[in-house]
Amino acid sequence: MSFEEETETTPLNELEQIEINLLLEGLYQKYGYDFRSYVRTSLSRRIIHRMRAERLPTITALLEKILHDPAYLERLLNDLSIRMTEMYRDPSFFAAFRNEVVPLLRDLPEIRIWHAGCATGEEVYSMAILIQEEGLAEKTKIYATDINEKALRSARKGAFPLEKMQQYTKNYLRAGGKKAFSEYYTTDHQFAYFHPIMEDNLTFAQHNLVTDGSFNEFHVILCRNVMIYFNNDLQQKVHRLLYNSLADGGFVGLGSKESILFMPPGLDYEEFNATERIYQKRK
Amino acid sequence: MICLVLALLIVMNRMTALQKEVDFVSQHDLEVHDLANQIQKNMLDMETGMRGYVITGDEQYLEPYNQANRSWLDNYNKLHSLLAKNGSQQRTLEEMKPLIINWVSNYGEAAIQQKKAGNIAALNKQFNNHKEEKVMEQLRTQFTSFLTKEKKLTNERINELRQNNTNLKITLYALVVVVTVITLATAFFLSHSIVNTIREVVKTIHSITESKVDLTTRIHVKTKDETRELAEAMNSLLSSLEKQSWIQKSVTEISLIYQGITDVTELSRAFLTKLAPMLEAVYGVVYLRKDQDDDTVYVKAAGYALADDQTAASFRLGEGVIGQAAADKRIFLIDQLPEEHFKMTTGLGASSPRNLLVAPILYDGRVEAVVEFAALQPFQSQHLTLLDVLQDKFGSAITSVLGRMEVERLLGESQVLTEELQTQSEELQAQSEELQMQQDQLQTTNEFLAMEKQSAEQRAVELKKAKDELEEYSRKLQESSQYKSDFLANMSHELRTPLNSIIILSQMLMENDGEMDMDEVKESARVVHTAGGDLLRMIDDILDLSKIEAGKIEILTDEVNVTELPQMLQNMFDPVAAKKNLAFEVVTAPDVPDVIATDGQRLQQILKNLLSNAFKFTEKGSVTVRIELAEPEKTAEYLGTNRREPVLAISVTDTGIGIPHDKQEIIFDAFQQVDGTTNRQYGGTGLGLSICREFTHLLGGALTVESEPGEGSTFTLYIPSRLESEKPELLAREEVAVSLSEPVEQEEVPPLEDTSSDEQIFKGKKVLLVEDDGRNVFALVTALEKKGVAVQVAENGKVAVDMLQEQGDFDLVFMDIMMPVMGGYEAMKLIREELGMHELPIIALTAKGMKGERDKCMDAGASDYIMKPFNINQLFSLMRVWLTEQVESE
């Protein structure tokens, strides 16, 4: 039986499981990227996708390439860490944030927001616009981090394809945007470029949720649709990291399909808005 | 030269003479010697032959004789003629002739004749007198002297020849010396003159070579001979070479500039910059061919020393000199331009170039470009030649650069498309991945929740059960207290009745003082006895019932032989039937199993009770017991579904008084009979059916009644075989996993539009502007049309809706809000709802500062809005967004 014959849906055989384990272990030992605690099903799909894209017969062959050729590493990393995101994704979340969370932030002398796993930055700019519209831009610092350097480079540019802007506009309006969305961007024939928004107070940096620790105390942490790729242990670990990075009374925002059911015990959150997955750390 | 020829002639003559003499000596002398020797030999042959014959007589010897005799005269004559120039020798020879003849005739012939005649004596005489020998001797002597003399003559001639030869040699040597001297002298003179000139030429050539091919050097010759011609030819060659080399060099230099240039304008500029100084031109301009639809236009691409506004921007084919040059494909050389044609400006002033050169650049027979140069002095032939040579090169360079530009453009485009495809595929992958993950997460959550829900439900069920149980308990408690009070009431009543009679009768008997007769006493005692028996049965029944209720009745499941049942029942009730004159029969269906598992004793008890009742309430007719397999629907009805073990249905049918419908439920309750009076009529504790039902329940069966008052009753007992587990086995349901529909992979990549230029976003798009303010209309239409957008205007919402209804192919609508007749909100609502155009992007134009307008717009169905006054770039940005075909998201 050859590997090519297997379809996506075929469950991995034992050998492939071993190979994937070895690959992840190799990736960690050689480069320090720790995907060992990611959900295996997703990882396997992505690794096999990469293996096929590189026209390699086995995962072991992919491992060999990765250990010896950094070009392969970058492509695999990109595959493993690529995420879907859009501006004002789940507009109701941003609406709730605007209407319910922002009033509570208003009185703070300084607001620090952390986008953990910001990917290509769509949400970061969404948040920045929102903060600006709420008149908090002066005292707000947004930190956007992701493991994927390529995604970060893209995020820093703040250029998003025109082909998606109609959806973004709709999202913006649904999320309660106060102005015309077109006031925030200029376009060319390919991209919409967002004006330098909160430029001084917007920081992009690489950060690995799996291996890196807390780097500040935040009033808001958004970590949406990031942990769904993590296995339960890692989710708990990241939850603890987020909890420990949160100021008392701070808010954490999760993805619409994520719940705190899997949080480790002992994290004292109050369900601030359960439908929008906004939780508040008890004081 | 003449001397030389004369000398040669003399020598030649002398050589011929000498040759002749040598020939003479060699031929004549040799022949003379030869012939003399021949004659001598002839003589010898004759003598020998004659003597041989004479001696032997053999005729054979006569042969040489005769031979010699015949030939000698010939030889003699030949010799004689040869010696014609030598008289003394001729005379000597003539002197010998008579001697020979004498010998032949006198001696030779004679001797032979005599021999023939056999005249030996004569012969001997002849020989003896030796005369013949003397003749012979004489002859020999003469021959010898002749030969000697001849030899001497020959020697003399040879000596003479030698002398002549020596003379000739000397002459020759002298001649050679003279000629050599003359030649050398001449050669020296000539060579000196030639070498000098050639040296000069060579020197010049050397100097040209050494001075790195300075073709401007010329050879200067003072002489007026062929060498001068050579030098002049050389000079003209040099001039031609210089021109050629200049052209070559210029071509090479210009060819070099093409390298690395990827833009045709830059190429033109570089070409001009390089070529203009070469042509000594002060101005230059390049027009490149551009195909516009069907028209060929030559558009200015680059200028040399020109201000932008100094030249015409483009020419059509045949238009002006440029166009004409392109049309005719020929060079135009114009001199003596009028001064006002053109001014060359420098910092210090202006002057007019008087010479103009317009040349088409041909490639593959097509005019790719036209160049024009202006110079202060006339153009020279090499300039034209250079242009001619460059035509092809520049043309091919333009074509190749254009080709390269096209390839690069296409490459760039394909790169963009590839990247886009890559990005999209990655996004799609990520999207599907995330969907998958979300689904997984959702599933996990659902599972968790389901589990939670399940446990909650379970708890609820348990609670409900507990509650029900509690209620049941309380109900039962109530019931049981009711039951108890009822029971007690009933029991006291039931017990009191016989007890009452017992007490009264026993009291009567006790107080009997003889006034009761024996019959009365007997009757009383019988009643007391019966009452006591009733009491006892009643107490037994009550005990049974209380045992059942206390759960103290043990069910002993055992194999019961069904075939034995009828016999047993017959045995038990035949006497009763006979006594009451009733028909009694037990019918067993053939498909009844022989054996079932149940408690036989209790079964008997139930049947006994039922039959007792039947006989008790039946006065005439019959009592029938039917044993058969229960019908499945009945089983299902009474015992629940999924019974797999066999269930017996044993029915007891009587033709008795029957039970009224409203009483059929209560007859199973304790102490209940159809009516109080029946008790009296029929007796019995009223507990029988209660006990039956309890027992039936204990056996896992059911007891039903069907009755019609006055016609009889049928009690049917359903008894399951309890061999296997009492509880119905749950069907092992296969857990059908809810197949979570995989997220539909977006296999289909949305068509990639060509986004290579901004123009393509706007050009040809159809926009409807709904606006009543003329100033705004004007501003917007102007701006949009500049972008190549086709704009139509509607002055109010009503008109807009009508227009959209008529032509549905607008790409975008700008909608003002406050308009007469029909405002923006209403129009948008109509467009969305009435016209059903949900996808058409409608951009609301709102007035700034009007609060709530945004929401109203959105509610009315606007896709986006922009606040007036807006800046045009913002409008274009927004339009790019709404005119770009979107990728399907989610």
- Residue ranges of chain A whose CB lies within 8 Å of a chain B CB: 9, 39, 41-42, 45-46, 49, 78-79, 82-84, 86, 161-167, 169-170, 173, 178-183, 185-190, 192, 225, 228-229, 255, 257-259, 261-262
Residue-averaged pLDDT of chain B: 78
Amino acid B326: pLDDT:
83
Read off the pLDDT of each residue in B283-299 and give the average, rounded to a whole number. 83
Q: Is A141 left (phi over 0), alpha (psi -120 to 50) or beta?
A: beta
Instruction: Tell me the sheet residues that pair with B299.
Output: B288, B314
CB contact under 8 A, A163 and B438: no
Residue A3 has pLDDT above 80, yes or no: no
pLDDT at position B482: 67
pLDDT for residue B481 is more than 80:
no
User: In terms of CA atoms, which chain B residue is nearest residue A75?
Assistant: B426
pLDDT band at B739 (very low <50, low <70, confident <90, very high): very low
B359-392: pLDDT as tens digits: 888 888 888 888 888 888 888 888 888 888 877 7
Which residue among B426, B760, B878 places its CB closest to the CB of A182? B878
Residue of A nearest to B878 (CA): A182
Chain A touched by B752 (CB under 8 Å): no
| Closest of A84, A51, A62, A38 to residue A228, by C-alpha | A38
Tokens of B128: 């003896």
Spell out which residues of chain B touch residue A78, defining contact as CB-CB under 8 Å: 426
d(C-alpha B831, C-alpha B803), whole Å: 11
C-alpha to C-alpha distance for B654 and B613, rounded to whole angstroms: 9
pLDDT in tens, B260-274: 777 888 888 888 888
Torsion of the alpha carbons at B259, B263, B269 and B270, rounded to the nearest 10: -10
Distance of CA B85 to the CA centre of its chain: 119
Residue range B832-841: mean pLDDT, rounded: 89
Q: Which residues of B touch A39 (CB under 8 A)?
A: 437, 440
For B452, nearest residue in chain A (alpha carbons)? A261
| CA atoms B844, B849, B852, B854: torsion sign | positive
Whether B438 has its CB under 8 Å from any CB of chain A: the answer is yes
DSSP B747: -
Cα nearest neighbour of B443 on chain A: A257
Q: Which residues of B touch A76 (CB under 8 A)?
A: none
Burial of B735 (0-12, 13-18, 19+ CB in 10 A): exposed
Structure tokens at B8: 């040669």
Q: Do A166 and B882 touch (CB under 8 A)?
A: yes
Interchain CB distance below 8 Å, A192 and B877 = yes
Q: Supply the Cα-derived Rg of chain B in whole angstroms.
A: 82
Nearest Cα of chain B lies from the Cα of A180 at a distance, in angstroms, of 5
Alpha-carbon span B367 to B297, nearest angstrom: 11
Chain A contacts in chain B segment 760-819 (CB below 8 A)? 760-761
DSSP state of A139: G
Give the span between the Cα atoms of B409 and B406, in whole angstroms: 5
Residue B220: is its pLDDT beyond 80?
A: no
Query: What local confidence, expressed as pLDDT, does residue B419 receive?
Result: 66
Q: Is the pLDDT of residue A22 over 90?
A: yes
| pLDDT reported for residue B322 | 83
The answer to whether the CB atoms of A189 and B863 lie below 8 A apart is no
Band of pLDDT at residue B184, cut at 50, 70 and 90: very high
Q: Mean pLDDT across the stretch B607-612?
A: 86
Please name each of the domains of chain A with its CATH number: 3-81 (no CATH), 91-281 (3.40.50.150)
Which region, left, alpha or beta, applies to residue B338 given φ > 0 means left and ψ of -120 to 50 means alpha?
beta
ipTM: 0.76
Which residues neighbour B445 within 8 Å (Cβ) at sequence distance 6 or greater? A257, A259, A261
Q: Compute the distance between CA of residue B826 and CA of residue B857 in angstroms, rounded to an integer.
A: 10
pLDDT-derived band at B882, boundaries 50, 70, 90: very high
Interacting residues of B301 by C-beta distance below 8 A, sequence separation 6+: B264, B265, B268, B269, B286, B287, B288, B369
Least confident range from A49-53, B342-346, B639-643, B709-713: namely B639-643
Residue-wise pLDDT tens digits, B630-685: 888 877 777 776 666 778 889 999 988 888 887 777 777 665 555 444 444 455 55
Which 3 state secondary structure label does DSSP give B182? Answer: helix
Calculate the dihedral angle through the C-alpha atoms of B639, B643, B648, B650, rounding to the nearest 10 degrees. 20
Chain A contact for B345, CB < 8 A? no
- Look at residue B731 and tell me whether its pLDDT is greater than 70: no
- pLDDT at residue B741 greater than cutoff 60: no
Give B444→chain A minimum CA distance, Å. Answer: 10
Q: Which residues of chain B does CATH 1.20.120 include? A: 2-179
Q: What percent of chain B has pLDDT over 90?
A: 5
Q: Could you tell me if B881 lies within 8 Å of chain A, comparing CB atoms? A: yes
What is the three-class DSSP state of B349?
Answer: coil
pLDDT band at B820 (very low <50, low <70, confident <90, very high): confident
**Inter-chain contact B431–A84, Cβ cutoff 8 Å?**
yes
User: A219 by DSSP, 3-state: which?
Assistant: strand
Interchain contact, A166 vs B442, CB within 8 Å: no
Residues of A in contact with B885 (CB under 8 A): 163
* Paired tokens of A181: 């969305």
Selecting from B441, B876, B881 the residue whose C-beta is nearest the C-beta of A165 gives B881
8 Å CB contact of B441 and A84: no
With CA atoms as reference, report the closest residue to B104 among B127, B144, B136, B138: B136
Probe site for chain B from A10, A133, A171, A182 (most B CB atoms < 10 A):
A182
What confidence category does residue A246 fall into, taking pLDDT thresholds of 50, 70 and 90? very high
Q: Which CATH fold topology does B758-883 show?
A: Rossmann fold (3.40.50)
- Answer yes or no: do A162 and B755 touch at CB < 8 A: yes
Q: What pLDDT was estimated at residue B740?
A: 32
Pick the CATH number of B2-179 from 3.40.50, 3.30.190, 1.20.120, 2.30.30: 1.20.120
The alpha carbon of residue B781 is apart from the nearest alpha carbon of chain A, in Å, by 20
**The residue type at B660:** P
Query: Which range has the top average pLDDT, A170-184, B48-62, B541-555?
Result: A170-184
pLDDT digits (tens, 9 = 90+) for A88-107: 988 999 999 999 999 999 99
Residue B279 has pLDDT above 70, yes or no: yes
Residues of B (413-432) whose Cβ lies below 8 Å from A? 416, 423, 426-427, 429-431
Query: What is the C-alpha radius of gyration for chain A, rounded to an integer number of angstroms?
Result: 20
- Work out the burial of residue A162: count CB atoms within 10 Å of its CB; fewer than 13 is exposed, 13-18 middle, 19 or more buried: buried
Give the gap in angstroms from C-alpha B254 to the nearest C-alpha of chain A: 38
Per the prediction, chain A carries an average pLDDT of 87
B874–A182 C-beta distance less than 8 A: yes
Residue-level pLDDT at A148: 84
Give the separation between CA B41 and CA B846, rounded to whole angstroms.
Answer: 164
Partner-chain residue, chosen from B742, B880, B889, that has the shortest CB–CB distance to A164: B889
Residue B593: is the preceding peptide bond cis (ω within 30°)?
no
Enumerate long-range contacts of B567-573, CB under 8 Å, 24 or more apart.
B568/B604, B569/B607, B569/B611, B569/B625, B572/B608, B572/B611, B573/B611, B573/B615, B573/B623
DSSP output for B392-412: HHHHHHHHHHHHHHHHHHHHH
Q: Cα(A167)–Cα(A183) distance, rounded to whole angstroms?
A: 16
| Res. B82: pLDDT tops 70 | yes
- State which CATH number among 2.40.160.20, 3.90.1170.50, 2.40.50.40, 3.30.565.10 fits the domain covering B553-720: 3.30.565.10
Contacts for B178 with CB less than 8 Å, ≥ 6 apart: B3, B4, B7
Minimum distance, in Å, between the CA of residue B882 and any CA atom of chain A: 6
- Interval B495-535: pLDDT, tens: 666 676 677 777 777 777 777 778 877 877 777 787 788 77
C-alpha separations of B641 from B199, B357, B645 in Å: 137, 113, 11
* Higher-pLDDT residue of B171, A29: A29
**Cβ contacts of B438 on chain A, cutoff 8 Å:** 225, 228, 255, 257
- Please list every residue in chain B whose beta carbon sits closer than 8 Å to the beta carbon of residue A9: 742
In total, chain B counts a number of residues equal to: 890
* pLDDT > 60? residue B751: no
Q: Check residues B557 and A139 and name the one with the higher pLDDT.
A: A139
Q: Which residue type, as a one-letter code, is found at position A10?
A: T
Q: What is the mean pLDDT of residues A46-60?
A: 88
- What is the mean predicted confidence (pLDDT) over A208-222? 90
Interchain proximity B886–A167, CB inside 8 Å: yes
Pick B419 or A69 by higher pLDDT: A69
Q: Which residue of B has its CA nearest to A183?
A: B874
Are A42 and B881 within 8 A, CB to CB? Answer: no
Angle between helices B131-210 and B2-24 (to 10 degrees): 150
Q: Do A162 and B448 touch (CB under 8 A)?
A: no
Interface contact flag, A86 B889, Cβ < 8 Å: yes
Three-class SS of A68-115: HCHHHHHHHHHHHHCCCCCCCCCHHHHHHHHHHHHHHHCCCCCEEEEE
- pLDDT score of B696: 86
Number of CB atoms found within 10 A of residue B635's CB: 22
Task: Classify strands A218-223 and A246-254 as parallel, antiparallel or unpaired.
Answer: parallel
Quote the pLDDT of residue B400: 82
Residues of chain B with CATH 3.30.565.10: 553-720
CA angle B488, B493, B495 (to 5 degrees): 90
Predicted confidence (pLDDT) at residue B212 exceeds the cutoff of 70: no
Contact criterion met (CB below 8 Å) for B96 and B43? no
Confidence band, pLDDT 50/70/90 cuts, at residue B486: low
Per-residue pLDDT tens for B9-40?
877 887 787 788 778 777 877 888 888 888 88
Interface of B with A in 845-864 (CB under 8 A): 854, 858, 863-864
Provide CATH code, domain B260-379.
Answer: 3.30.450.40
pLDDT value of residue B732: 30
Distance CA B835, CA B828 (A): 10
Segment among B57-61, B422-426, B541-545, B653-657 with least mean pLDDT? B422-426
Name the band, by pLDDT with cuts 50, 70 and 90, for residue B843.
very high
| Number of other CB atoms surrounding residue B607 within 10 Å | 24
Inter-chain CB proximity B757 and A228 less than 8 Å: no
Residue B810 one-letter amino acid? F
Report whether B840 contacts B813 (CB < 8 A).
Answer: yes
Q: Which residues of B touch A179 (CB under 8 A)?
A: 867
Name the residue of chain B whose CA is nearest to A78's CA.
B426
Look at B756 and A189 and tell me if their CB atoms are within 8 Å.
Answer: yes
> Residue B602 and residue B698: Cα distance in Å, rounded?
9
Grade residue B686 by pLDDT with cuts at 50, 70 and 90: low
| Cα B143 to Cα B425: distance, rounded to the nearest angstrom | 140
CB B445 to CB A257 under 8 A? yes
Which residues of A are less than 8 Å from B876 in CB distance? 187
Q: What is the mean pLDDT of residues B178-194?
A: 86
Q: Write down the pLDDT at residue B443.
A: 78
Query: What percent of chain A clears pLDDT 90, i.e. is strictly above it?
Result: 45
